[in-house]
Structure 1
Amino acid sequence: MTSRLSVRLARLLNMVPYLIANPGISAAEAAADLGVTTKQLMSDLNQLWMCGLPGYGPGDLIDLSFSEESIEVTFSAGMDRPLRLTSTEATALLVALRSIVDMPGMVDPSAAYAAIAKLEAAITGAAPAPSVLPGAEPPVEPPEVATVRAALADGRALRLVYYSASRDEVAERVVDPIRIVLVDDNSYLQAWCRQAEGVRLFRFDRIEGATELDEPAAPPRDATDRAAGLDLFQDDPSVPLARLLIRAEHAWVLDQYPMHRVRTNPDGGLEATMRFATLDWMARLLLGFGSGVTALGPPELVAAVRDRSTAALAAYAEAGLTESGI
């Protein structure tokens, strides 16, 4: 069964108890709750007429009375309660929730902790535990994260105060939110940046402030494609490019920084490139790697690293912290 069909089947199986619990609900309200369009909902309702008990005659099939104004279930064919999770399914869901609850922006923490408590109770058979430890404050997400999630839900533009690690600066951006994504164990707001005129990813833990604007978000149509802007390390020819030599035992830096591998040398060393915005920031970064990473270019970066290294050694010597004195 394809994933699309399995999703629809799960929705159909749970739709009857949902409609029984909400008699007379309008098609628009039900579609919003179930996460589908009104057209899809009406198609599902027509499909339900074909579902029921073996025999498939009068009194066996689900019976409904529905229009866009009101939906009523007149015969449920025994499907009065939602499907229940198996212990394996509940455990998998619990693990997934715990893995994202501390990632800013992914979920509402208070709702996630409440869901975790209910799942744990369902698995153990005990009464639901409090969503937080006794005496502890309920989890509250940072205000800027809550603002971003609210603006996304409201379809509003945002003004962000954002720290760019590659540029080593804090700047304001006006963006049109698209969605929240998880990339390499970090959560990001995917949005159309009006300043850069392109799709960008804004890491939640680097958003220092957010203001919801009184204007609708209006990203270009092609910008809303799920793959748009998901490459964190897009080449920008306006930003300087560093050429680096990385020793084999420091290959891990490729996983931690926006570097592109160019080649692997016979000794196991790697040559890579990395975009950077300020010479000062890039020089400081490379000095932190010691002899593990060497700047090959551009010349001004090589000179900056050399000058900083010379100054650091001179400061150590002046303080009496030479190799023999440490």
Structure 2
Amino acid sequence: MSGADTASARLERLLHVLPAASREGGASLAVLADELGTTPARILDDLTEVGERVYYHPGGWPDDIQILVEADRVQVVHAGGLDRPVKLSPRETLCLALALRGAAAASHLPPHDERNELLRRAEEHLAAFTESRLHEAFAAPDVADDPGQVRGELIAAARERRACAILYVKAGARDAEARVIHPYTVVYAQGAWYAVGWCRVSEGVRVFRDDRVVEACRTDETFETPDDFRVEDYVADGAVYRAPDEERVRVRYSARIARWIREHARYRGWEICELEDGDVVAEHTVADPGWVVAHTLTYGAEAEVIAPASYRRLVREAVRGLAG
């Protein structure tokens, strides 16, 4: 295992060290370091980080974690809520079972006893659910509630290549606008359904989230999907991308979370600027104002939208709403 000092590597080490050190008598620092391919000093640094994080946020565990470090051993005296892993949800259990079966089917290696035992336990857990509970937990998204039949109307319009008249509420708007769209396709991404198609009002291809569509009704007008239309230009990697609406938003992050932001920036492609006080400023290309609000509030007081002013206002209004 790599000893690289990144947040993900540190978490991986801690997920090995804490359970091992929770056993009676604790664990040898030298043995742990050898198992993880790192040094005892780095493990001690990881444990120091855990101790500091106990007081990092008031919403943490009610009981403090207690760690005893001796000359060559470490022992978790009180786990403070870390005494066992979180139980998998039914969906997570199903995903695990499918992955294990898929790995076995795609591999030419002989069966692995530990993998087979894990698969048996996962499927045994799923077998305990009633049929109605399974349907509720694993029903496909397209059979989810659609009380206004909006989604059904949009899907039918896309299949029949018929224009659709809709009442649509844009993000941040209070009133619905009447539009006529040519829904080229209806896709599921980021936990919601979206219609992707030509908008007569905007005179371009736009993306419409179905739960923002108040009403939808097919018309007699027909359309043809352009040959150069590619749904991948609007939905990629499970995320919705709306190029015509995108804006550049600058967010400042405190030095306390700067390392985490730098790591994110490397694989998400964020442009960052280092400040003298240790803070960092990242520039995000976004199309959904709601993403900026949710992202900023995730970090609480450690993140602040710098520009544009309209996005600062959205975050401020969201905070006021939470405060009541």
Same fold (TM over 0.5): no
Structure with greater Cα Rg: 1
TM-score by length of 2: 0.40
